[in-house]
Amino acid sequence: MRYRMKSSIRWTRTSEGGILVNVTSGASYRVNKVGALIMADLVEGSLLEDIVSQLCAIYRTSEGSLGKDVEAFTNTLRRMDIIEAYDMV
């Protein structure tokens, strides 16, 4: 599955991770370094499965638990109206 940021969201990386800002509501959110890696890949249009594989290689862990964590993170971003799923046609 692919996700993209909603048009009202802006984000930037920081030394500690990243900051997301909803320019419509003014709400802001911080993400840690792993969250920033995920956001960067989401913005590039990477498949969720590819993001998990990349993180597994970086952190030398299994896809099982990391996949669940990435899915939970993206579900949180969806509930917060930061990202949305889309299909490439």
Q: Using a cut of 0.85, tell me whether the model's pTM lies above it.
A: yes
Q: Mean pLDDT, 10 residues at a time, over the chain (89 residues)?
A: 93 96 96 96 92 94 90 95 85
Confidence (pLDDT) at 65: 85
Supply the pLDDT for residue 86.
87
Per-residue buried b or exposed e for 32-61, using 16+ beta carbons within 10 Å of the residue's own CB: eebbbbbbebbeeebebeebbeebbeeeee
